[in-house]
Amino acid sequence: MARMVGAFNVSHSPFLYMPPERWNEVRARRFLRQDVPMEDLAECKAKMERCNSALAIVRKKLAEANPDVIVIFGDDQLETLDWRNFPPFAVYVGAEFEGALSAVDPSMGQEGAAVPAGGRSAPRARLRGHPELAVSLLSGLMNRGFDPAFFMEAPKPEVGIPHAFMRPAESLTDLKTPVVPVFINCFFGPQPTAARCYQLGKATREIIDAYPGDLRVAVLGSGGLWHTPGVKDAYLDEEFDRESLRYLEQGDIQRAAAFHDAYRVPANDASQDVVARGPLSTGMPVSGGPQLGTREYCNWVAAAAAVDGRPWTIVDYVPVYASPCGMGFAYCEGLA
């Protein structure tokens, strides 16, 4: 039978992949709220070192877990998907997939999509999928009241699978371990609630436990924490992030989901204004909770729900004001 051997959550901001000397250069092109602190180069370097150290610890823990396959919960920001079809949940069931690595052009000013760097094509990598487990997840979710879409091939081969899956694979693995991408629509209203993502994670664990093959499986939530990429009056709500991490640390994932869903966007918060249709908004009603990139915490909730009740180790939480983004790194071990 399959065994869950580890659960992991990490941020995937492009600031993790650019020299700290460029952080404030990127900040200067953005329109942050006036009260966002300004950090000098020494502070940026220190925070980059903390992020790298945290990633190294999570990478070590993942290697120790030695999974045969990693199920990654991630989102798409109009990379593989577009307005012609944008499901709340989807599973990639193909045998292989490609995607861009971390060559991002910080002058674009928008967190997320991998783009050509310096006018050159971004480097790409080909990863193995795991069709057998992926199909089991797909059919198992359907049997448990979910209706996910599925991909047998990347809808846009020239783009490949989104950065939410490629960046953690790049940072935490040798790109040889098979990956099953599970898409969650975090960004665009109407989105699944964190409570629904909690149910998704619980169902995923049931399916993995019932899988007949001798398989070591890890789960990983990609993205977050608080950030509203490239929008007017962006800021960082550290207290919201730290409260979310407290629930994770305690292993109380239902309360983490409830806390997330109970949040209401302040009436004067331009950074989370998604009422009008635009590059980062459908203009349709949104679910409760923070908007835009902060909702990637739902990916964390799904991964954490797969080991519900177990406490997590928070490796570090690093507030990076140049983005601004709360960088989080965590793991749950001792499952095998």
Mind listing the domains of the chain with CATH numbers? 3-115+122-332 (3.40.830.10)
C-alpha–C-alpha distance, residues 91 and 225, integer Å: 23
Per-residue pLDDT, averaged over 275-291, amounts to 91
pLDDT per residue as tens digits for the range 307-316: 999 999 999 9
**In this predicted structure, what is the pLDDT of residue 121?**
61
pLDDT band with cut points at 50, 70 and 90 for residue 336: low
Is a pLDDT exceeding 50 seen at residue 187?
A: yes
**In this predicted structure, what is the pLDDT of residue 110?**
41
pLDDT band with cut points at 50, 70 and 90 for residue 334: confident
Is a pLDDT exceeding 60 seen at residue 180?
A: yes
**In this predicted structure, what is the pLDDT of residue 122?**
72
The candidate with the shortest Cα–Cα distance to 201, out of 258, 141, 148, 245, is 141
Residue type present at position 275: V
Question: With contact defined as beta carbons under 8 Å apart, do 103 and 90 qualify?
Answer: no
Q: What percent of the chain has pLDDT over 90?
A: 89
Strand 69-74 and strand 124-128: the pairing is unpaired
**In this predicted structure, what is the pLDDT of residue 287?**
85
> Around Cβ 124, how many Cβ atoms within 10 Å?
14
Helix (H, G, I), strand (E, B) or coil at 9: strand
Global pTM?
Answer: 0.94
pLDDT per residue as tens digits for the range 107-149: 333 443 433 333 346 789 999 999 999 999 999 999 999 999 9
**In this predicted structure, what is the pLDDT of residue 1?**
84
Radius of gyration for the chain, computed over Cα atoms and rounded to the nearest angstrom: 18
pLDDT band with cut points at 50, 70 and 90 for residue 103: low
If you average pLDDT over every residue of the chain, what do you get? Answer: 93
C-alpha–C-alpha distance, residues 239 and 313, integer Å: 18
Question: With contact defined as beta carbons under 8 Å apart, do 194 and 261 qualify?
Answer: yes
Question: With contact defined as beta carbons under 8 Å apart, do 234 and 30 qualify?
Answer: yes
Question: With contact defined as beta carbons under 8 Å apart, do 272 and 228 qualify?
Answer: yes
- The phi and psi torsions of 267 (rounded to 5 degrees) equal -60, -30
Is a pLDDT exceeding 60 seen at residue 105?
A: no
Which residues face 216 on adjacent strands?
3
Per-residue pLDDT, averaged over 299-307, amounts to 98
